[in-house]
């Protein structure tokens, strides 16, 4: 790194440390899930964003659990200190209210998401978004992938245009959760599949060598927390969180790999957790030897400041002034906030409009349906439909010629086709969805002699919007999470996911409970 880069890196570490230190002092015993011990994560995200913008990306989408989230909100997303401090003030104001022990917003502050504009060193502007995430740790992973895929995809014309360079997904994992929660493997398995690829995700394991109170040897059967990733053809880079320049180099290597090969890369950031699982916890109850060593171990800002002073990059006095200025900035923000508070903080609760919405008109002229039906039954010259399928297609023609009843799969195809003709894009994915589990759908036909595929819904003469159809891997949580994320970013698209059988969806219950239902 150049001297200017080193000074900037020290300044950033000072800001990271200052926020955590101030919160500890001003709100003693309040939960913040401190990043301390993994402070290098924030400058690593800075480097990721800088490189993404340099490569032409317009957005970086982040997914993470609660460890270090407040610092990422402040320094990576750019949320003002006041908006974080007000949550602590609200918690103190309302602490006697048993109905709202965590404050009045309906969720805890370390589950929140936010979006902001990041200005790079090269004076470029790039959007940075951190997704909301409840307590289920890694379950946000496929949602980030779905959001990224939707934002990378243009649906303005009949043909889908997918540009993986436009949006970069970044997932921050826990060292205990990465090998232990199956949703991680489900998400990794999506990386190179046609309907799910995002051109490579940067994975960062925030490795504090401890899962709540569980030691690594009790929590996994592998040597490294990252070993699960070995099965998915991605590089794994191990780096010491106390060596901040090596951490920056690790990001450059991982992003270069993504840029070159369009696949995932993983950094195992090995550090520690300076305090307990949260600030009300006493970690020495269960890890007395580890925490005796941590107590004597200097923070990374101090380690780096001493190194730069030794190399003549900054003086010891300059380093201390940087730290003091960063701390004072947080303190000043808190002073201004307290002066502006005229009462209890805004709870964020608003009354919902529950009046009945106007019933939409969903009918279509018979002639329109007849025309669409003929297009759905058309095949290229010389295409050999399987002999057992031919009667099914003929029955669909007789619906309009002889008044036969419309079956469910036929009605579904007509509905999709009419939406495409009206300009609404459709994305349908799931387990054996192209044919249909009950051999009823047959949206994709396979030439009985050559194996060539034909999807009439993608070839409609009257369509003005794209149709996307994919058989999914045999995954419920991962795939439903992906489609939920996609739907959040593409509200103008009908996004559907199909489990093979009704009981299969039970495997995606966390996504249903924590995202679909909670997000309504």
In the 3-class helix/strand/coil scheme, how is 268-329 assigned residue by residue?
EEECCCCCCCCCCCCHHHCCHHHHHHHHHCCCHHHHHHHHHHHCCCCCHHHHHHHHHHHHHH
Q: What is the pTM of this model?
A: 0.92
What is residue 362's predicted lDDT score, i.e. its pLDDT?
86
State both tokens at 450: 């050559």
Query: Could you give the CA distance from residue 28 to residue 25 in angstroms, rounded to a whole number?
Result: 6
Highest mean pLDDT (candidates 93-107, 392-406, 410-424)? 410-424
Structure confidence at residue 109 as a pLDDT band (50, 70, 90): confident
Q: Is 510 helix (H, G, I), strand (E, B) or coil?
A: helix
State both tokens at 399: 């619906």
Q: What is the pLDDT of residues 184-212, one digit of tens each?
A: 999 999 999 999 999 999 999 999 999 99
Query: Could you give the CA distance from residue 291 to residue 388 in angstroms, rounded to a whole number?
Result: 70
Q: Is 63 helix (H, G, I), strand (E, B) or coil?
A: strand
In percent, the amount of the chain with pLDDT more than 70 equals: 94
User: Taking CA 415 as the corner, what is the angle to CA 414 and CA 417, rounded to the nearest 5 degrees?
Assistant: 65
Q: Of 198, 196, 195, which is closest to residue 468 (Cα–Cα)?
A: 195
What is residue 194's predicted lDDT score, i.e. its pLDDT?
93
What is residue 403's predicted lDDT score, i.e. its pLDDT?
83
Q: Is 145 helix (H, G, I), strand (E, B) or coil?
A: helix
Kind and range of the H or E run holding 6? helix 3-26
Query: Could you give the CA distance from residue 298 to residue 294 in angstroms, rounded to a whole number?
Result: 8
Structure confidence at residue 61 as a pLDDT band (50, 70, 90): very high
Q: What is the pLDDT of residues 305-335, one digit of tens each?
A: 999 999 999 999 999 999 999 999 999 999 9
Phi, psi of 414 (to 5 degrees): -65, -40
Q: What is the pLDDT of residues 468-496, one digit of tens each?
A: 999 999 999 999 999 999 999 999 999 99
Average pLDDT, integer, range 340-347: 62
Query: Could you give the CA distance from residue 451 to residue 457 in angstroms, rounded to a whole number?
Result: 18
Q: Is 464 helix (H, G, I), strand (E, B) or coil?
A: coil
What one-character-per-residue DSSP string does 110-123 give? GG--EEEEEEPTTS
190, 486 Cβ separation under 8 angstroms: no
Query: Could you give the CA distance from residue 464 to residue 17 in angstroms, rounded to a whole number?
Result: 53
Kind and range of the H or E run holding 153? strand 153-154
What is the distance of C-alpha 132 from the center of its chain?
Answer: 9
Instruction: Specify which residues 430 forms β-bridges with.
Output: 471, 498
Q: Of 151, 173, 222, which is closest to residue 65 (Cα–Cα)?
A: 173
Query: Could you give the CA distance from residue 173 to residue 360 in angstroms, rounded to a whole number?
Result: 43
Average pLDDT, integer, range 341-367: 74
Burial class of 482 by CB neighbour count within 10 A (0 to 12, 13 to 18, 19+): buried
Average pLDDT, the chain: 92
61, 169 Cβ separation under 8 angstroms: yes
Q: Is the pLDDT of residue 106 over 60?
A: no
In percent, the amount of the chain with pLDDT more than 90 equals: 82
What is the distance of C-alpha 332 from the center of its chain?
Answer: 33
Q: What is the pLDDT of residues 148-179, one digit of tens each?
A: 999 999 998 888 899 999 999 999 999 999 99
Q: What residues contact residue 180 under an 8 Å CB cut-off, 6+ apart? A: 211, 219, 220
Average pLDDT, integer, range 3-29: 95
């Amino acid at each position: 790194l150049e001297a200017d880069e080193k000074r900037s890196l020290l300044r950033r570490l000072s800001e990271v440390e200052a926020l955590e230190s101030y919160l500890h002092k001003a709100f003693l015993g309040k939960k913040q899930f401190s990043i301390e011990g993994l402070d290098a994560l924030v400058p690593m995200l800075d480097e990721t964003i800088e490189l993404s913008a340099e490569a032409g990306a317009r957005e970086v989408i982040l997914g993470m659990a609660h460890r270090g989230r407040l610092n990422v909100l402040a320094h990576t997303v750019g949320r003002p200190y006041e908006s974080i401090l007000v949550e602590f003030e609200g918690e103190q104001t309302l602490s006697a209210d048993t109905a709202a022990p965590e404050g009045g917003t309906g969720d805890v502050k370390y589950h929140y998401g936010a979006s902001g504009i990041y200005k790079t060193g090269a004076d470029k502007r790039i959007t940075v978004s951190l997704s909301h995430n409840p307590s289920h740790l890694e379950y946000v992973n496929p949602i980030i992938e779905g959001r990224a895929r939707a934002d990378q995809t243009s649906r303005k014309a009949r043909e889908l245009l997918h540009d993986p360079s436009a949006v970069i997904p970044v997932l921050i994992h826990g060292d205990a959760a990465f090998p232990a929660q199956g949703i991680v493997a489900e998400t990794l398995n999506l990386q190179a599949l046609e309907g799910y690829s995002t051109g490579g995700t940067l994975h960062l394991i925030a490795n504090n060598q401890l899962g709540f109170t569980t030691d690594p040897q009790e929590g996994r059967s592998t040597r490294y927390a990252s070993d699960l990733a070995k099965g998915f053809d991605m590089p794994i880079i191990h780096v010491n969180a106390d060596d901040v320049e090596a951490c920056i180099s690790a990001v450059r290597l991982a992003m270069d790999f993504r840029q070159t090969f369009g696949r995932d890369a993983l950094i195992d950031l090995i550090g520690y957790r300076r305090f307990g699982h949260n600030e009300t916890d006493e970690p020495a109850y269960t890890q007395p030897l580890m925490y005796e060593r941590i107590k004597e171990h200097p923070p990374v800002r101090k380690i780096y400041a001493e190194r730069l002073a030794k190399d003549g990059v900054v003086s010891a006095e300059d380093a201390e002034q940087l730290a003091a200025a960063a701390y004072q900035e947080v303190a000043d923000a808190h002073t201004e906030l307290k002066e502006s508070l005229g009462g209890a903080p805004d709870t964020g609760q608003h009354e919902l409009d529950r009046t009945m919405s106007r019933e939409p008109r969903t009918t279509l002229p018979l002639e329109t349906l007849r025309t669409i039906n003929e297009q759905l039954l058309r095949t290229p010259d010389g295409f050999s439909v399987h002999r057992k399928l031919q009667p099914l297609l003929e029955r669909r023609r007789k619906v309009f010629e002889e008044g036969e009843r419309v079956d469910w799969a036929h009605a579904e195809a007509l509905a999709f086709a009419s939406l495409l003709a009206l300009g609404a894009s459709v994305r349908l994915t799931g387990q054996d969805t192209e044919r249909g589990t009950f051999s009823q759908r047959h949206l994709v036909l396979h030439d009985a002699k050559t194996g060539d595929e034909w999807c009439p819904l993608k070839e409609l003469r009257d369509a003005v919007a794209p149709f996307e159809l994919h058989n999914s891997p045999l995954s419920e949580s991962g795939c439903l999470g992906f489609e939920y994320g996609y739907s959040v970013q593409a509200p103008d698209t009908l996004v559907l996911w199909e489990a093979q059988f009704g009981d299969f969806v039970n495997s995606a219950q966390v996504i249903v409970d924590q995202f679909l239902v909670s997000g309504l």
